[in-house]
Amino acid sequence: MTTLVFAHPALRELWGSIRDDELESAAVLLCVPVQLRSAGGWRLMVREMHVPTEANYEVRSPTRVQIKTEFCLRIEKRARLNKWSLVYVHTHPKQHTPEFSEIDDDTENGLSSYLQMRCPEVPHVSLLLGMHHLIAREIGSRIPVRVMELGHDVQVAYDATEPELLEERFDRQVRAFGPDGQARLSTLVVAIVGLGGTGSHVLQQLAHLGIQQFILVDPDSVEVTNLNRVVGATLADVGEPKTRYAERLIQGLGGKEPTVLRGDVTAEDVVRRVIEADIIFNCTDTQSSRHVLNQAAYQYMVPVIDMGVSVTVDANMHARFAGHVKMLSPGLPCLWCCNHLDPEALRREMMTAEQRQADPYVQGAATVVQPAVISLNGVVASAAVTMLLSAVAGVPAPTRYIHYDGNRARMNGLKVQRDHACAFCGDASTAGTGDAFPLPVRRRGEGSNH
C-alpha cells in the first residue's frame, strides 16, 4: 500500500488554505518517495505545498477546477529533477464525504499519461478534500492511498482498509476509548525492537489490546537468566529464539503471523524492514540501536516510542530505580535534544571487532551486566503502551516524554524544547528526506555488539 504522510499540522494547514464554501480549489504537493522493499508499496513524505492564488486558476467553479499550466510546470520540473512524487489536490466543497467524479476520472486519464512520460519512476497521487473527510488514490491505477498526519498524535485521515470486526473480548476497552479507537488499533502495523524485559511486556499488552500485525526484531535466544523478566517465556524456551515465544503469544491471542527478523536493528537490511511499520517500539538498551532508530524516526517519518529502565546499586546495596518513555515523531524533540545519547558510548558500540582491538581506549572493556526487575520493566512498558493508546486511540494522556522515579513512586511528564539546529530533528536536518542520506548502520560483514 502507498501511504501519504504529512508532518503535523501540514494537512490541516493545507485544508484551511484552500477551503471555500462555494468554489472548488486546488493545490500541488511535492513528496519525497521511499519504496518499501518488502511490502511493495511506497511512503510519500510531503515536502512542499504549493497553493495557487486566484490569478493562477484557469477555471474555477462549483463543479470544476483547473490550475494554469505555467503554475504547474515549475513544480513538475522540480519533481522530475529530484525524482519526487506529485500530489494533485482539489476540493468538492459541498460533499461531506467526497467521491471522485467522472470529470475527475477523465482528468486523471490524461494526467496519468503525462506523468508516465515526465516522472515515470515514482507514484503520483490525487487527493480529494470534502467538507469534513478526504480520500486519495494513485493516479493511473486508482488504487486507494492511505493518508496520515504525524506529530504529537498518529492520525489516520483516510484508510480504505476494512478494520477487523470488533470482538466481544474487546468490549471493556471499547468502553474506554470507543469503537473508532479500537478500529484504528486493529489496522496498525507495529514493530517491536528487542523482546527482552520491556519488549516482552509491550508485546503481551499490544496483543491483548488487539494489534494484529507485528514486526518482531531480536537476534538472541532465550537464556535461563532471561526467565526472571521475559514474560511469556518458559523453561521450555531456553535455547530457542526469543522470537519463537513471541510468535506463540501473538497467535494464541488470535493475531496474524508476525514478520520475524532475527537480527540487529543496526544492520541495514533489518532497519529498512522496520521502518515499514506504522509505529516502532524501541525496547533495547544500547546507544547504537537508539541512535539508528532516532534518526530513522525523523528521516522516514515513522514514529518511535523509546523506553529505558535503569537500576543502579551502590556499594551499600542501596538501589535506585528509574525509567523513561519518549515519543520520537515530527515536531517533537529527539533523543539528542533530550540528552539521552552518549557520543562516546555510541562510538564504542558501533566499532567493528578490528576497530575495537586497535583502539587503546576500549581494549579490555567488558560488557557490564545490568540489574533487571520484572515489575520495574512492567511499569515503564505500560506507560509506553498507554502513550500509544493516547497517540492513536485518543486516550486522554497527552504527555510524550515521561520520567519514572521508582524510589519516590513518581511518574512525571517532562518538557524539552526541540533544538531547531539539531541535525536529526531540526529545521534543516535530515528529517523527511528518506533515502537522500544514509542511516548510521552497520553494513554486511561489519558484525554486531548484541
Distance, in Å, from the CA atom of 322 to the CA atom of 324, rounded to the nearest integer, reads 7
Degrees (nearest 5) of the Cα angle 390, 395, 398?
50
Where along the chain do the CATH 3.40.50.720 domains lie? 168-436
Amino acid at 118: R
- How many of the other CB atoms lie within 10 Å of CB of 58? 12
Cα–Cα distances (Å) from 289 to 43, 140, 222, in that order, read 23, 40, 20
Cα–Cα distances (Å) from 122 to 32, 89, 119, 146, in that order, read 10, 17, 7, 16
User: pLDDT tens per residue, the chain (450 residues)?
Assistant: 899 999 999 999 999 999 999 999 999 999 999 999 887 799 999 999 999 999 999 999 999 999 999 999 999 999 999 999 999 999 999 899 999 999 999 999 999 999 999 999 999 999 999 999 999 999 999 999 999 999 999 999 999 987 766 678 889 999 999 999 999 998 999 999 999 999 999 999 999 999 999 999 999 999 999 999 999 899 999 999 999 999 999 999 888 999 999 999 999 999 999 999 999 999 998 999 999 999 999 999 999 999 999 988 887 888 899 999 999 999 999 999 999 999 998 988 887 667 666 665 554 444 556 788 899 999 999 999 999 999 999 999 999 999 999 999 999 999 999 999 999 999 999 999 999 999 999 765 454 444
**Can you identify the CATH homologous superfamily of domain 168-436?**
NAD(P)-binding Rossmann-like Domain (3.40.50.720)
Where along the chain do the CATH 3.40.140 domains lie? 2-158
The CATH classification number of 2-158 equals: 3.40.140
- Of 450, 442, 444, 440, nearest in space to 295 by CA: 440
Give the position of cell 506529530: 151
- How many of the other CB atoms lie within 10 Å of CB of 409? 9
